[in-house]
Amino acid sequence: MKHRSFFWFFLPTATAMLLFIAFPIVSVLIQSVYAPHEQVIIEVENCGPFGCTATTTVDQEATRALREAQPMGRFVGLDIYFNRAHLAVSEIGALWTAAPDLGTFFSRLLGLPFYGALSFTLTYTFLVTPFSLMLGFVIALSVNALPRILRGPTIFFSLLPMIVTPLVGGLILFWMIDSRGVLGAFFQYLSGDPDLSVKASTPMMWVMLIVYGIWSSAPFAFVVYYAGLQTVPQDTLESAMIDGATRWQRIRYVMLPHLLPLTTFMALIKIMDNFRVFEPIISFQASAHAQSLSYFIYSDLGGETRLLSSAAATSVLTIIGIVILLSPVLVRTWRSFGKA
């Protein structure tokens, strides 16, 4: 393609990306280094149906003057990134000097919101990504082996977890694992403990969230792998069979290498998705057991007093986290393009 025609071809996409991806990121970055003005607090008398009390309020006149002097707010540099709700630099320093041994240090470190959330998010990402790809691959192989007439309905049912809205899918499972729900009662029967509650136990909640994650994202891997399986060259497969390759050997030495680019692509997408895990935490009401960076953004923006700068800083940290996680895959893709 000529450069000129490429330019015109690519222009709409580039404009859209600039407008809807690049500019918002820049605005989030700017927001994260500014904080609201110092509030001028005055003591006032507050009266209402339940009598009068002495209370405080923001002095709007004085605050307005500050606001007009600096419309962007206070410039705070990286302060918000380093505060307790984010990287907690000074808190870690204090923990390091106070902790008697490494074990105590790490268990206290995980008590800080950002690191606690990171430990769940990374566990979730590194378990859900490979297992959902594997499960998707197994489903794809099974469907591929079915007689043609059964494939349509089977594909439809296998896709259901992806079609169901995540919040609704999560809620259904949430009700099933209730101590009075179908699965909850079954677990109690299995363990012989009538007081067993999945929702009250942190490890079991993590397991449920991860199982939900695998269940809901396996169909995506299944569709992509199923499409990929249709492109596996038949003659290579046939010659492998003539050479006496078993079904396992055909999968291992013919299909998997053929599907490797697809696997890389899906790993990229799923790592990005899973690192931003959010809906399961909401629909499982799991915030007492597991939090994620996205959950913090939601919590900052959903409180009675919104913390815009904190949410912006968490967003930037999420982007940085994703870039770090993706870098091995990106480097690998870059190299393989270099070879071609």
Partner 1 sequence: MNKTLRGLTLSALLGGSALAMTAGTALADCGFAEGRVSIIGNEFPAIRAVADRAAECAAGGVEVNANLTSQHQTLNVAGMSTTPPEYTSAIIANSSIVALINDDVIRPLNDLVAAYGDGLQPHQLITINGDIMAVAFMANAQHLVYREDVLNDLGIAVPTSYEEVLAAAEQIRAAGVMQYPVGGAYASGWNLAQEFVNMYLGHGGQFFAPGSAEVTINNEAGVAALEMMAALTEYMNPDFLTHDSNATSTEWMAGNVALMNMWGSRTQVLMEPEGSAPEVHTNTRVGGPLMVGDSGVPATTLWWDGWTVAKNASDADAEATFRALAHAIQPDLLNDETQQMAVWMIEGYEPTPVSSGVLDTISAQAQPYPMLPYMGLLHTALGDNLAPFLQGRASATEVLEAVEAAYTSAARERGFLN
Q: Smallest gap, in angstroms, from Cβ of residue 272 to partner 1?
A: 21
Compute how many other C-beta atoms are within 10 angstroms of the C-beta atom of residue 82. Answer: 16
Judged by CB under 8 A, does residue 294 bind partner 1? no
Instruction: Retrieve residue 171's tokens.
Output: 């809620």
Q: Under DSSP, is residue 56 helix (H, G, I), strand (E, B) or coil?
A: strand
Residue 123 and residue 292 in contact, taking contact as beta carbons nearer than 8 Å: no
Q: Which of residues 155-174 bind partner 1 (CB under 8 A)?
A: 165, 167-168, 171
Residue 5 contacts partner 1 per CB under 8 A: no
Q: Note whether 292 binds partner 1 by CB under 8 A.
A: no
Smallest distance from partner 1 to CB 220, Å: 20
Q: Point out which span in 30-38, 209-217, 242-250, 319-327 binds partner 1 (CB under 8 A).
A: 30-38
Query: Does 287 engage in binding with partner 1 (CB under 8 A)?
Result: yes
Q: How far is 284 from 72, CA to CA, in rounded Å? A: 38
Show the DSSP H helices in 71-112 as ranges.
Answer: 79-82, 89-98, 102-109
| d(C-alpha 310, C-alpha 87), whole Å | 11
Q: Tell me: does residue 49 bind partner 1 (CB under 8 A).
A: yes
Torsion of CA 336, 267, 19, 302, to 10 degrees: -160
CA dist list (Å): 265 to 307, 320, 330: 35, 20, 10
* Dihedral over alpha carbons 259, 260, 262, 266 (to 10 degrees): 130
| Count of residues engaged in binding partner 1, rule: CB under 8 A | 60
The residue among 216, 230, 237 whose CA lies nearest residue 262 is 230
Among positions 28, 29, 85, 329, the unique one binding partner 1 when judged by CB under 8 A: 85
Q: Which stretch binds partner 1 (CB under 8 A): 13-21, 140-148, 191-199, 262-270?
A: 191-199
State which residue, 228 or 280, has the beta carbon closest to partner 1: 280
Cα–Cα distance measured from residue 241 to residue 192, given in angstroms and rounded to the nearest whole number: 50
Between 125 and 309, CB nearer to partner 1: 309
| 68 belongs to the binding site for partner 1 (CB under 8 A) | no
Taking the C-alpha atoms of residue 294 and residue 296, their distance in angstroms, rounded to an integer, is 5
Compute the distance between CA of residue 269 and CA of residue 274 in angstroms, rounded to an integer. Answer: 9
Alpha helices, DSSP H, located in 146-201: 148-163, 166-176, 182-191
**Interacting stretch for partner 1, rule CB under 8 A, among 12-20, 39-47, 95-103, 265-273?**
39-47
Q: Does 314 bind partner 1 (CB under 8 A)?
A: no
Give yes or no for residue 199 binding partner 1 (CB under 8 A).
yes
How near is the Cβ of 10 to partner 1 at its closest, in Å?
32
Stretch of 60-68, 209-217, 224-232, 321-329 lying at the interface with partner 1 (CB under 8 A): 60-68
Interface stretch with partner 1, choices 51-59, 219-227, 246-254, 265-273 (CB under 8 A): 51-59
Distance of closest approach, residue 114 Cβ to partner 1, in angstroms: 11
Interface with partner 1 (CB under 8 A): 35-39, 41-51, 53, 55-58, 60, 63-64, 74, 80, 83-85, 91, 111, 113, 165, 167-168, 171, 178-179, 195, 197, 199-200, 202, 282-288, 299, 301-307, 309-310
